Structure 1
Amino acid sequence: MPTALIILAAGQGTRMQSDRPKVLHEVAGAPLIAHAMAAGAALDPVRTVIVAGHGADAVRAAVLDLDPDAAVVEQTEQLGTAHAAAQARAALDGVTGDVIVLYGDTPFIRPETLAAMAEARAHHAVVVLGFEPADPGRYGRLVLAGDELERIVEYKDATEAERQIGLCNSGVIACDGTLLFDLIAEVGNDNAAGEYYLTDIVGLARARGLSAGVVICDAAETMGVNSRADLAAAESAFQTSARAQALDNGITLIAPETVFLAFDTVIGRDTVIEPNVVFGPGVTVESGALIRAFSHLEGCHVSRGAVVGPFARLRPGAELSEDVRVGNFVEIKNALVAEGAKINHLSYIGDATVGAQANIGAGTITCNYDGVFKHRTEIGAQAFIGSDTMLVAPVRVGAGAMTGSGSVITGDVPAGALAIGRARQQNKPGLATKLFERLRAEKARRKRD
C-alpha cells in the first residue's frame, strides 16, 4: 500500500537555548530532521510533508536541500500535535493510502520499525509505536485491553494507576490518510495542557468501533532531543552504535571511543583507524586503507591501500587513488592524487591533479586562489616537487619534471625539465660577524638606557 510521511518539525525547542530551529541541530554531521527523513525514505513514500514552525524558512531550505520533492508547510500557532499534523492535509490532497506521522527531533527510529508499523496496518485501523523505558517518567501511557490499544493517556491527565503502566507512547502513528484527518477534525483540547493531542485519535477510532494496535520497539529508537544534554546523549548513542557496527564489519578501531563517524561514513573491511580520527559527512574509505591518528576527513574518497596521516586533513573533493601516501600536516582539497603518489609532510594541495608516483616535497603549496577565482595546478606522473616549492596556479609541471627546493614556479614546466625559481645566493665574507656585533652593542645600549 502506498505510504506518505508527515514529519512534525514545528517545535521551537526553547530548552536548546538556541536561535537555530531544534530540528537543524546536528547529530553525526546531519540535522536531526535528516535522520527522520532518511528513516522514512526507506518506505519509498509517495509524498513527504514537513510541518515547520519556528525558523520555518531555515527548515524549508534544509529540507529541500535533502529532498527537493518534499513539501514544507507551516504551523503558525503551536496548538499541539494534532493541530500540527492537520497542517499537512492540503499537501496530501489526492494522495491515497497510509500516512505515518514522525517527529523531526527523534532521529533513531529504524526503517525496519516503520516497516513493521506499515505491516501492522493490515490488522488495525490505527497503529501506534510504543516502547518500554527503564524509567517511564512523564511519557504518555498506552492503555491496552488485551491485544488492542484502548487509548493513550498523557502523563498530565493520567491517574495514579495509569502512571504505573510501563508501555509508553513514542508519538509515531500510522493510519489511513483519509481516516487520519477525519479523526483529527474531532480532536478537542479539553486536557491539562489545553492542546490538541494527536494521540486522542486512538480513543476516537475506538469509539467508532475501529481497531487500534501497538508495535513495540527498543527504547533507544525513541530517543528525543529537547536540550543540549539530549543532543550530546544522541551523539553518544549514534557513535556507540556506529563504532560497534564498524567493528562487526571487519574494521579495526584501535581506540574506538576516540573515533567519530558521520551518518553516511562508508569504510571497507580491513581498514585500520588509529586513535582520534574524525569523519565528517561524505567520506568513503576503501578496504585495506590506513587512517593514522588525529586526522580529519570530510567529503573525500580514500582508495585501497592508501595511508593518511597522522595529523592530515582531507577536505571536500579530495580523491586519493590506490597506495597514495599523505603524511603529517598535509591538507588536500578538491584534488585528485593518482596511484602511488606521495605527499608526506607539511603541504597544501588544493584544486590540483597529482600524477602517479609523483613526490611532493615538504612545504609545497599550490597557490590556487587569486582573491577572486580558484585555479588548478597539474603535476605530471613521476614529477619531483622540491621542498618549499610555491606552485602559482594555473600552472603545469610535466611528467618526470623537477622543481628546485625553495622555488616559486609561475610558468609551466616541460616534461623532464628542472625548474628553479629563486634568487641567486650571494655570500658576504665577515658580514654576519659585523652585523651581530652591531646588534649586540645596540642591545647593551638599550639595557643601559
Structure 2
Amino acid sequence: MTSHSAPRAAIILAAGQGTRMKSPLPKVLHPVGRRAMLDHAIDAAQALGCDPIIVVVGEHSPQVRAHVVARLGEAAIAVQDPPQGTGHAVRCAQAALAGFEGQVVVTYGDVPLLKAADIEPVFASADGVTVIGFEARDPGAYGRLVMEGDTLAAITEAKEASPEVLALTACNSGVMAAPAALLFDLLGEVRNDNAKGEYYLTDVVALARQRGAPTRAVFAAEDSVMGVNAQAELAQAEALFQSVQRDAFLAAGVTMSAPDTVHFAWDTQVGPGTVIEPYVVFGPGAVIAANARIRSFSHIEGATVASGAEVGPYARLRPGAALGEDVKVGNFVEVKNVAMAKGSKANHLAYLGDGTVGAAANIGAGTIFCNYDGVFKHRTTVEDGAFVGSNSALVAPVTIGAGAMVGSGSVITRDVPPGDLALARAPQTTKPGWATRFMATMRAKKAEKSR
C-alpha cells in the first residue's frame, strides 16, 4: 500500500450497461487474468491507500452490486439511476463521501490494466484538478488534451476540435483527481446542455480554470488506460495482461520456451529456475516454487507445487492440491485437495481427491480415490512408502498404512495395516478351450444368418 499523508478516496464508475459486450454477464465482471475487471480497479485503489472506495453501480445490474458488497460492504455502494453521464455518476457518490476531507480519484471499472503506479502521480497536486492523459497511436475520436507547458488548458472532444487540435496526440483517459470539496463544488456547476443531455466530468477542467484553480495532466502508457467495451477489446486486454506477466516471469528467471502459449492468472506465483513447457494454463491461486517443472498441457488452480516437483504433461491440479518436494504427478492425473509428501508419485491416469499421500508412496496407474458418497466427501490416507497397485479403487474413508501394498485391480473398503498386502478381487478362473469353442459357435451363427 502506498505511503502518503493526505487522505485519499476513490470513486470507481461501474454503472454502464455494457450492451456492446452482448453478454449476460455485466461488463465490469468479465475477467482479465482470471479476475473481474472491477476487481482490478478496486485492487489499484486499495494499493493507493484509498479509503473509502465508492463504486457507482446501476439499478440494472444487481450482480455488480452484490459483487461490490461481498468485497467492500454496503457502504461502498452508490447508485446512479438513471444514467446521465460521467459527471452525474460521480455526483451520485457525493453522499457516500460526506465529511471526507482529502483528495478523490475517479477511475473506471472497465479499465483493467491501470495500476496504482500509473495513478499515483495524480495526487502530486493537492489544490487543483489533475487528469491522466496518454499519447495515442491513433487519436481518432478521443478527447484531446490541450497543454500550455505543464498546464492543462482544455479537454476538447474530437467532434468539436479544430484541425490544429485534432492533430494533437495527447488524449484524455477519463481518470481525474481533485480535492473532494473542489470536485463536488465544480460538479454542481456542470450543465447538461449538450446533444446527449448528459453531465460530463470533463467539463470540470474548464470550470476549474475559470476559478483560477490549477489544472494539470500526467501521462500513462496508452495500453494501461485502455477501456473495454466489447468482446474484441476484452481479448486485447487479456493479451496485453498476459504479455506483461510473461515478460515479468522471464525477467525473474522462469524458463519458458514458448511463452506466448502459457497463460497466467492475476495472482500466479512462480519461483526462479522453474521450467514451464508450452500450453500450460494457471488459474487463480497457483503458487509454484523455484526449480519445479510444469510440463505441457497442464492446468493448475488453487494449488501449490514445491521445489523439484514435476507436473504433467496433461495433468490437472485443482484447489487444495499441495505437492511436496520431488513429487511427480504425471499424464492424465487429477489432484484435488490432496497433500502429496516428498518423493511421492502418481505417474499415470489417476484421480486423487480429498486426502493425503505420504512420502515416497506410489500411486499406480488407474487408481481412484472414491471420495464422494453422493452426499458427503470423505478422505483417503496413503501413508509413507505405501504402494497402491494399478487400477485400484480406494473407497473413502480409508487408510493405507505405511509400507503397505494394495494389489492391482483391488477395491479397498477397509483400512490396510502398515506393512500388509491387501487384495480385493475375485480369484481368476481359467476354462480350457472355452474361447475357441465360443468363437466357433458365434461365427457359425453369423454365417447361418447371412445365407
TM-score class, shorter-chain normalisation, is over 0.9
- The CA distance in 2 between the partners of 1:109 and 1:13, in whole Å, is 19
Who is 1:147 aligned against? 150
Displacement of 1:109 after TM fit? 1.4
Displacement of 1:68 after TM fit? 4.4
Displacement of 1:446 after TM fit? 4.0
Check 1:205–1:392 CA distance in 2 against 1; reply closer, same or farther (3 A cut): same
Alignment of structure 1 residues 49-68 onto 2, 5 Å: 49-53=54-58, 55-68=60-73
Who is 2:283 aligned against? 280
Displacement of 1:70 after TM fit? 6.4
Q: Matched residue pairs, number?
A: 446
One-letter amino acid of the structure 1 residue matched with residue 328 of structure 2: R
- The CA distance in 2 between the partners of 1:45 and 1:446, in whole Å, is 84
Does the 8 A contact of 1:21 with 1:54 survive in 2? no
One-letter amino acid of the structure 1 residue matched with residue 89 of structure 2: A
Displacement of 1:194 after TM fit? 2.3
Give per-residue Cα distances to partners, 1:156-213, cap 9 Å, x unaligned.
3333332222110000001111211111111111223321111111111111111111
Check 1:67–1:251 CA distance in 2 against 1; reply closer, same or farther (3 A cut): farther
Who is 1:220 aligned against? 223
- The CA distance in 2 between the partners of 1:377 and 1:68, in whole Å, is 39
Who is 2:3 aligned against? none
* 2:444 partner SS: helix
Check 1:70–1:379 CA distance in 2 against 1; reply closer, same or farther (3 A cut): farther
Check 1:365–1:55 CA distance in 2 against 1; reply closer, same or farther (3 A cut): farther
Who is 2:361 aligned against? 358
Who is 1:18 aligned against? 23
Displacement of 1:146 after TM fit? 3.0
Displacement of 1:8 after TM fit? 0.4
Give per-residue Cα distances to partners, 1:206-237, cap 9 Å, x unaligned.
11111111111111111111111101111111
Does the 8 A contact of 1:2 with 1:96 survive in 2? yes
Identical counterparts, % of pairs: 54
Who is 1:183 aligned against? 186
Who is 1:35 aligned against? 40
- The CA distance in 1 between the partners of 2:87 and 2:106, in whole Å, is 10
- The CA distance in 2 between the partners of 1:103 and 1:446, in whole Å, is 75
Unaligned runs of 5+ in 1: none
- Which one of 52, 60, 67 corresponds to residue 47 of structure 1? 52
Who is 2:326 aligned against? 323
* 2:188 partner SS: helix
Give per-residue Cα distances to partners, 1:390-449, cap 9 Å, x unaligned.
00011111111110000000111111111111111111111111221222233334444x
- Which one of 295, 298, 304 corresponds to residue 295 of structure 1? 298
Give the structure-2-normalised TM-score: 0.96
One-letter amino acid of the structure 2 residue matched with residue 352 of structure 1: G
Does the 8 A contact of 1:324 with 1:339 survive in 2? yes
Who is 2:104 aligned against? 99
- Which one of 74, 77, 84 corresponds to residue 89 of structure 2? 84
- The CA distance in 2 between the partners of 1:15 and 1:179, in whole Å, is 34
Who is 2:439 aligned against? 436
- The CA distance in 2 between the partners of 1:286 and 1:254, in whole Å, is 19
- The CA distance in 2 between the partners of 1:223 and 1:297, in whole Å, is 29
Alignment of structure 1 residues 245-394 onto 2, 5 Å: 245-394=248-397
Correspondence 1:171 to 2:170:
no
Give per-residue Cα distances to partners, 1:122-169, cap 9 Å, x unaligned.
3x5111000011110101111223321122122233333322221100
One-letter amino acid of the structure 2 residue matched with residue 368 of structure 1: N
Check 1:64–1:345 CA distance in 2 against 1; reply closer, same or farther (3 A cut): farther
* 2:432 partner SS: coil
Correspondence 1:395 to 2:401:
no
One-letter amino acid of the structure 2 residue matched with residue 304 of structure 1: S
Check 1:47–1:254 CA distance in 2 against 1; reply closer, same or farther (3 A cut): same
Displacement of 1:116 after TM fit? 1.3
Does the 8 A contact of 2:323 with 2:340 survive in 1? yes
- The CA distance in 2 between the partners of 1:131 and 1:3, in whole Å, is 23
Does the 8 A contact of 1:329 with 1:346 survive in 2? yes
Displacement of 1:46 after TM fit? 1.3
Give per-residue Cα distances to partners, 1:308-362, cap 9 Å, x unaligned.
0000000111111111000000000011111110010100000011111100000
- The CA distance in 2 between the partners of 1:344 and 1:358, in whole Å, is 11
Correspondence 1:203 to 2:206:
yes
Does the 8 A contact of 2:75 with 2:96 survive in 1? no
Give per-residue Cα distances to partners, 1:41-72, cap 9 Å, x unaligned.
11111111111126532112223444448612
* 1:131 partner SS: strand
Who is 2:244 aligned against? 241
- The CA distance in 2 between the partners of 1:368 and 1:263, in whole Å, is 31
* 1:100 partner SS: strand
One-letter amino acid of the structure 1 residue matched with residue 373 of structure 2: D
- The CA distance in 2 between the partners of 1:63 and 1:446, in whole Å, is 71
RMSD between aligned residues: 1.4
